[in-house]
Amino acid sequence: MATRDPRWVLKDRPSFALIIGLVLTGICALVSFSFDVFNGAPVQFFIALMLALAPVPLLLAAVLALDRMEPEPRSNLIFAFAWGAGIAVLVAGVINSLNLHYIIDTAKLSEASARNLAATFGAPVVEETMKGLVLLGLLRFRRAELDGPTDGIIYASMVGLGFAMSENVSYYLGALSSSGVKGLAVTVVLRGVLSPLAHPLFSSMIGVAVAYAAQRRGPERTTYVLAGWTAAMILHGLWNGLASYGGFPGLVVAYLTLLVVLVVLIGVVFRDRRRIVALIQRYLPAYEPTKLVTQADIYMLSAFSRRRQARQWARAHGGKPGLRAMRDYQLAATELGLLHERAARHMVDEHTFHEEQRALLECMSTARADFPVPEMHARSVARGSPPPGYAPGAPG
């Protein structure tokens, strides 16, 4: 009987549900952009769109740079970004517009006053709820992907970047239409240069909470999620309120607040990396008798610099196939440590544990078989010593 490719456990293949989801988010994005086109000239729309897209590659690279220890499946990341850029923006935009008209009609306020009020108290609730829904979906249907707070931050940042990109199109188009090139320049600086990570930081409060909830059972999970959701809405409302009512001093306080949040989240990511390294060092030595793991491998896997050096070594001696083999080995070995943690927390049943364990070991075995072995180092490798350049400083 044919067996599945063991690489299924690395979850890098798109599912039918993902394809349907991307189609829906794409349709929503087109609908949202069509509103912008109708509200302004097509040429102005494309100018706004290009300006909104310009920083996205750099921002995505910055977020994904935090995701190198145990990279998340690309399909999940794409969907999170698409959800923010399509469904979340469209629904939030419609609800925010209705809220604005409701405030104007009932409170008899000017449009400017109503906008400030809606931005401070209404928009944070609506927008963080729409962005947070995709994180709740991960908790419900992809719980195994949330191995720690880093994963929550990564997914939240992806949905936040997608949301901010689409929202910026509307802001840039509005500024260009009402205030010309000067107004557009000011808006681009404020939103695209000085605060491009605002939405990812807001949503990261939910992301961290959802990741902690994924590691736990019982009613405390709901408490974590509600706490994160509340924190995201408060942070978002504080940002909008200070920008709306605080003038220049308010903007300074708002930016300092975001800076503090950013520093704290980076600290959370580095602490989570140390946790993953500890898991590797704790659980992988038990696999040394299989010859799939050695002390040199554990040493290599325990630091980013040594992982990178091993990939460089594999590419130098084995080209792209060697590099792919090393990447697969590093990812499978890291996932193996995380699988043991999930089992220890009773997050997976015994059957699932053994099925994924077997697949990960097969991945590691296949990857090791494809490792390049330079002829000059074949003898030392046969004795179990790492070849020069693979993991310098590792025990021989």
Write the secondary structure of the chain as one string of H (helix), E (strand) and C (coil): CCCCCHHHHHCCCCCHHHHHHHHHHHHHHHHHHHHHHHHCCHHHHHHHHHHHHCCHHHHHHHHHHHHCCCCCCHHHHHHHHHHHHHHHHHHHHHHHHHHHHHHHHHHCCCHHHHHHHHHHHHHHHHHHHHHHHHHHHHHHHCHHHCCCHHHHHHHHHHHHHHHHHHHHHHHHHHHHHHHHHHHHHHHHHHHHHCCCCHHHHHHHHHHHHHHHHHCCCCCHHHHHHHHHHHHHHHHHHHHHHHHHHCHHHHHHHHHHHHHHHHHHHHHHHHHHHHHHHHHHHHHHHHHHHHCCCCHHHHHHHCCHHHHHHHHHHHHHHHHHHHHHHHHHHHHHHHHHHHHHHHHHCCCCCHHHHHHHHHHHHHHHHHHHHCCCCCHHHHHHHHCCCCCCCCCCCCCC
Residue 37 has pLDDT above 90, yes or no: no
244 and 371 share one domain:
no
Q: Residue 191: which residues within 8 A CB-CB, separation 6 or more? A: 164, 168, 171, 172
Q: Are 279 and 337 in contact (CB under 8 A)?
A: yes
Domain for residue 346, yes or no? yes
Q: Are 330 and 336 in contact (CB under 8 A)?
A: no
Domain for residue 295, yes or no? yes
* Per-residue model confidence (pLDDT) at position 106: 87
150 and 51 share one domain:
yes
Domain for residue 286, yes or no? no
298 and 172 share one domain:
no
pLDDT-based confidence at 17, cuts 50/70/90?
low
User: How far is the C-alpha of 330 from the C-alpha of 117, rounded, in Å?
Assistant: 50
**Domain span at residue 301?**
291-382
Indicate the residue among 239, 261, 283 that finishes a domain. 261
Specify the number of domains making up the chain.
Answer: 2
Which pTM value belongs to this model?
Answer: 0.88
State the sign of the Cα–Cα–Cα–Cα dihedral 359, 365, 366, 372: positive
Of 240, 246, 305, 252, the closest CA to residue 277 belongs to: 305
76 and 187 share one domain:
yes
pLDDT tens, 270-318?
999 999 999 999 999 999 999 899 899 999 999 989 999 999 999 998 8
* Per-residue model confidence (pLDDT) at position 174: 86
* Per-residue model confidence (pLDDT) at position 18: 63
pLDDT tens, 65-105?
888 888 888 888 999 999 999 999 999 999 999 999 999 98
pLDDT tens, 366-391?
998 888 877 777 777 666 677 777 87
196 and 295 share one domain:
no
Of 338, 337, 324, the closest CA to residue 369 belongs to: 324
pLDDT-based confidence at 2, cuts 50/70/90?
very low
Distances (CA, A) of 107 to 99, 111, 241: 12, 11, 19
Domain for residue 283, yes or no? no
* Per-residue model confidence (pLDDT) at position 4: 42
Amino acid residing at 237: G
47 and 142 share one domain:
yes
Q: Are 214 and 140 in contact (CB under 8 A)?
A: no
305 and 221 share one domain:
no
Domain for residue 272, yes or no? no
Question: In the structure encoding, which two tokens stand for residue 202, read together?
Answer: 């807001």
54 and 184 share one domain:
yes
295 and 256 share one domain:
no
Phi (first) and psi of residue 156, to 5 degrees: -65, -40
Residue 10 has pLDDT above 60, yes or no: no
Domain for residue 301, yes or no? yes
251 and 317 share one domain:
no
Q: Are 165 and 29 in contact (CB under 8 A)?
A: no
Distances (CA, A) of 250 to 81, 84, 240, 244: 30, 27, 10, 8
37 and 111 share one domain:
yes
Domain for residue 304, yes or no? yes
105 and 147 share one domain:
yes
Q: Residue 113: which residues within 8 A CB-CB, separation 6 or more? A: none
Domain for residue 281, yes or no? no
